[in-house]
């Protein structure tokens, strides 16, 4: 049995006809038929049932198809495993929350893509649950989640730390106070992220840790970072933002008890192959470089 025969068999099964498969493989139909004949002779069973113009898998063919897919995947993994790092290429997808998607990944991935012209990366935004589910189901290759994370089916690597501050528009009445107290904040309206947001969960955990009686007046619950920022800029309330997304129209509220931190983690499925592990390390290096350059510029 030759590996090319397995590739030919899979192409026929996926195409549905010898003619289509032969065209895609760049072979003549008689040459393709001969290879399948030799394959079936060696296996001792028929894997394809010919009928008219189309073909379908026999019962034995269904079984052999599953084995063939696994053999092809293993062969691709072997090829990637012996590929030098400089040849990292392929299509990969990433899921992350709004802050990471908008302020961290664009510059991080840009640097990687410049160095790796054979690499294609796509990003989709999702909250913590959406991102975790997408990674576990194989809908995306990599996910960036807020810790702590306990998931035995994932490789988990520390990504970046993030500080979260209470903020408001610079002309918000709260800044007329010389010293801001909890009583002052209780009277304000708040612009929150939706309940599934990892940032909101981190904020609520922090607030409840020192003020269990605090009941915020939530004026808005929004999904996107951009929506929260625009609402805060318009003076519609007080909100909480990552240090990465605070712009010049907003101002931090000096109330240290509400400052909090969170850590981001880069996750991918175990047994995903060396290429994905290589890409994860590449993203970690680029993100750390971005963080250092950002801090240097800020100082």
Distance between alpha carbon 55 and the CA centroid of its chain, in Å?
39
pTM value is: 0.65
3-81 fold: Arc Repressor Mutant, subunit A (1.10.10)
Both tokens of 208, joined, read 């409840």
Token code pair at residue 27: 């072979």
Class at the top of the CATH hierarchy for domain 85-299: alpha beta
Dihedral angle over CA of 103, 106, 111, 115, nearest 10: 160
Give me the half-sphere count of Cα atoms (radius 13 Å) on the Cβ side of residue 40: 16
- CATH 3.40.190.290 residue window(s) in the chain: 85-299
Task: Name the segment(s) of the chain with CATH classification 1.10.10.10.
Answer: 3-81
Q: One digit per residue, pLDDT tens: the chain, 299 residues?
A: 888 899 999 989 888 888 888 888 888 989 999 999 999 999 999 999 987 778 889 999 999 999 998 898 888 777 666 655 456 788 999 999 989 999 999 999 999 999 888 899 999 998 888 999 999 998 999 999 988 888 899 999 999 999 999 999 999 999 999 899 888 888 899 999 988 888 888 888 888 776 665 566 888 999 899 999 999 999 999 999 999 999 999 999 999 888 999 999 999 998 787 888 889 999 999 999 988 888 877 66
Q: Is the peptide bond before 148 cis (omega within 30 degrees of 0)?
A: yes
Residues forming beta bridges with residue 248, ordered by sequence position: none
């Amino acid at each position: 049995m030759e590996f090319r025969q397995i590739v030919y068999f899979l192409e026929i099964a996926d195409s549905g006809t010898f003619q289509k498969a032969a065209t895609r493989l760049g072979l003549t139909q008689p040459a393709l038929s001969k290879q399948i004949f030799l394959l079936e002779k060696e296996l001792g069973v028929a894997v394809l049932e010919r009928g008219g113009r189309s073909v379908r898998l026999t019962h034995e063919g269904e079984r052999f198809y599953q084995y063939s897919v696994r053999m092809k995947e293993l062969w691709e993994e072997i090829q990637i495993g012996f590929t030098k790092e400089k040849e990292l290429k392929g299509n990969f997808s990433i899921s992350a929350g709004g802050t990471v998607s908008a302020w961290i990944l664009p510059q991080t991935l840009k640097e990687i893509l410049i160095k790796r012209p054979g690499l294609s990366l796509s990003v989709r935004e999702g909250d913590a649950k959406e991102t975790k589910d997408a990674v576990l189901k194989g809908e995306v290759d990599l996910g960036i989640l807020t810790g702590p994370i306990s998931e035995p089916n994932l490789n988990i690597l520390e990504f970046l730390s993030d500080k979260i501050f209470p903020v408001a528009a610079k002309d918000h009445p709260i800044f007329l106070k010389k010293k801001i107290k909890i009583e002052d904040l209780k009277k304000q309206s708040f612009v929150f992220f939706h309940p599934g947001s990892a940032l909101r969960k981190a904020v609520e955990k922090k607030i409840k840790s020192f003020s269990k009686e605090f009941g915020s007046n939530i004026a808005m619950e929004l999904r996107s970072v951009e929506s929260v920022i625009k609402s805060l800029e318009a003076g519609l309330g007080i909100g909480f933002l990552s240090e990465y997304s605070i712009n010049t129209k907003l101002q931090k509220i000096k109330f240290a008890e509400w400052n909090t931190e969170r850590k981001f983690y880069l996750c991918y499925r175990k047994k995903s192959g060396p290429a994905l592990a290589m890409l994860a390390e590449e993203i970690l290096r680029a993100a750390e470089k971005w963080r250092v350059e950002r801090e240097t510029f800020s100082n």
